[in-house]
Amino acid sequence: MEKTKVIVGLGSCGIAAGAQKTYHKIESVMNTEKLDFELKKTSCIGMCFREPLVEIVDNNGSYLYGNVDEKRIEEILEQHIKKDEPIKDYVVATKLFETEDNKFFEAQVKIALRHCGMIDPESIEEYESQQGYAAIRKIADEKISYDAVIQSVFDSGIRGRGGGGFSTGMKWRFARNNQSAEKYIICNADEGDPGAFMDRSLLEGDPHAVLEGMIIGAYAIGATDGVIYCRAEYPLAIKRLNIAIEQAQQKGYLGKNILGIEGFNFDIHIKEGAGAFVCGEETALIASVEGERGMPRKRPPFPAESGLWRKPTNINNVETFANIPWIIFNGASAYNKYGTEKSKGTKVFALAGKINHSGLVEVPMGITIRDIIFKLGGGIPNGKKFKAVQLGGPSGGCIPEFLADTVVDYDSVNATGAIMGSGGMVVMDEDTCMVDIAKFFLNFTQEESCGKCTFCRIGTKRMLEILERITDGKGKHEDIEKLEELAAQIKDNSLCGLGQTAPNPVLTTLKYFRDEYEAHIFAKKCPAKACKPLLTYEIIPDKCTGCTICAVKCPVKAITGERKQVHFIHQEACIKCGDCYSRCKFEAISLQ
């Protein structure tokens, strides 16, 4: 009979929700009452909307408890641990009975996230117990050639998960074919869009998988040194990476003649980045690692020929490397049985925005956007209608509801005008103004422009000024045409991917929601009622009781009227704060 395990999710999301306090409470009760169970730590389990999360594994099975604060954990310990009576109302996921949130996991296929939320990320022994480092040991034991490793990665069909979607096997082959005594392999863990949440969670939850993927990549291309470029704002990820690197060195997975492979010498170092979005682009990242300002360089030469320190360099992102050990250990055919003809395997998405179940999901390529949002994500809160999803990060595109049955693969997503990106999926409901959304994302990319290209530096600024004018109710008849002209110039003439894709949010919203732009410009109205300068608050005489609450609470005294008499809003004084609208108990104020 195995000892019961109590496992607390201590990723950044869990800690932010109070999981550390829950963990300390468990420790306190365990020690005070001499309870006999094993208390363990893990990282993000993916179900971020239910944090803090605590899993109890006993001889009956596994029970995942959600929203476990200090008070709730006392009840759970009392009933489940002491009396062996699970509290079903608090269980959010289990295979032992039906729960509302079981669906969150049902359609998922976990390869990149296979260990996240399952093991202690600070224990190399736990990683090894789950076939960790088995792939690199297989290469060493079976004396698999570097060419066979590259061929296996190529045959798996995996494409770079950082956004571009280039064949990983082909990329490795290019680096291998360049002869040099020095070669480098870099893990890009500094992407600045919502998908970066996924990168951070993988580094926090399974750092050894990323290291093993890099080690295999280094063997395949002949790299002598590795760099993990990680944003400094991820202190927990950096802490766990440092622990993992030290453990891997002690076990002989890093260093000289790794696992007895003569001449295979490889070490990994961490370079902390400043979180610049442009450093998601390979050459800008390389410049930053070299101590220069993160700005893109002209290509060719490509990094595979002349990268870090002008030596052949291969760059993949966190999710790509996390997949590699699984592919090598299980075989290319096991991986490419998932997905579509041109997009194999699985993809991790960070679900955010107007959605019931926010968090991390890993799904097979070929699933529809609608299934991700409504089956895994639980649909839209408060009965609102699904309007669009922003896919591909700040420089991605907005896909409307009528295209929600688009399958998730590179070609299908690109055909909509969006991009796969690194996995950000921001859901929007009927109250979202698409012009305002385009402005929001363009503001981000404009601020993140490195300034090297005139078209990106100045063009995105001019586009942003037009969008600001439109949402302020000062749009002009020619603004739509100007936006389209500027977008085309920026896409065609920018040096790197940031500039080339920066207009995507504007172009896709113009393509699918042109009527909203026209309403802002010609009717001076925001259909979603989200742009304050275009809103008008008015008293409905038949409903107004003269209670005076709106007049008393108005911060600028724009509402007048006697008690028990119909009130009046002076439009020239109204600042459109909406306080009157939200406070009126009689629904006597209309919003136009």
- 462: closest CA among 410, 406, 502? 502
For the chain, the domains span 5-106, 124-335, 346-429, 434-523, 535-591
**Structure tokens that stand for 278 in this block:** 């442009």
- For 105-141, the pLDDT digits (tens) are 988 999 999 999 999 999 999 999 999 999 999 999 9
Residue 480 has a pLDDT of 96
- Rounded CA-CA distance 165/590 in Å is 48
Band of pLDDT at residue 194, cut at 50, 70 and 90 = very low
pLDDT at 197 over 90: no
**Residues 382-388: contacts with CB under 8 Å, at least 24 apart:** 384/354, 384/429, 384/430, 384/431, 385/429, 385/430, 386/427, 386/428, 386/429, 387/428, 387/429, 387/430, 387/432, 387/434, 388/428, 388/432, 388/434, 388/437, 388/512, 388/513
pLDDT at 55 over 80: yes
**CATH classification of 346-429, choosing from 3.30.360.10, 3.40.190.10, 3.40.50.970, 3.10.20.600?**
3.10.20.600
- Rounded CA-CA distance 423/361 in Å is 10
Residue 1 has a pLDDT of 63
| Neighbouring-strand partners of residue 559 | 569
Q: What percent of the chain has pLDDT over 70?
A: 99
Asked if 422 and 162 count as a contact pair (C-beta separation under 8 A), the reply is: yes
Residue 196 has a pLDDT of 64
**Structure tokens that stand for 394 in this block:** 């700040």
Residue 422 has a pLDDT of 79
* Geometric angle at alpha carbon 520, from 436 and 506, rounded to 5°: 45
**CATH classification of 5-106, choosing from 2.20.25.90, 3.60.40.10, 3.40.30.10, 3.90.1170.50?**
3.40.30.10
- Rounded CA-CA distance 452/299 in Å is 15
Highest CATH level, class, for 535-591: alpha beta
- Coil, strand or helix: which one is 336? helix
- Rounded CA-CA distance 57/64 in Å is 9
Q: What H or E segment, with its residue span, contains residue 346?
A: strand 346-353
Q: Across the chain, which distance is largest between two alpha carbons, in Å?
A: 92
- For 556-572, the pLDDT digits (tens) are 999 999 999 999 999 99
- Rounded CA-CA distance 510/484 in Å is 8
Residue 38 has a pLDDT of 95
> Tokens 């504007």 appear where?
506
Task: Read off the pTM.
Answer: 0.93
**Structure tokens that stand for 184 in this block:** 């480098």
Q: What H or E segment, with its residue span, contains residue 324?
A: helix 318-330
Residue partners of 304: CB distance under 8 A and separation at least 6: 171, 174, 175, 178, 312, 313, 314
Complete DSSP assignment for 140-181: HHTT--HHHHHHHHHHHT-B-TTTT--BHHHHHHHHHHS--S
Strand 38-42 and strand 5-9: pairing?
A: parallel
Question: What letter would DSSP give residue 409?
Answer: S
**Using CA of residue 214, residue 219, residue 220, residue 226, what is the dihedral sign?**
positive
Q: Would you say the CATH fold of 535-591 matches that of 5-106?
A: no
- Around 243, how many Cα atoms within 13 Å sit in the side-chain half-sphere? 18
- 393: closest CA among 344, 347, 350? 350
Architecture of the CATH domain 434-523: Up-down Bundle (1.20)
- Coil, strand or helix: which one is 225? strand
pLDDT at 578 over 60: yes
pLDDT at 588 over 80: yes
Overall fold of domain 124-335: Rossmann fold (3.40.50)
pLDDT mean across residues, the chain: 94
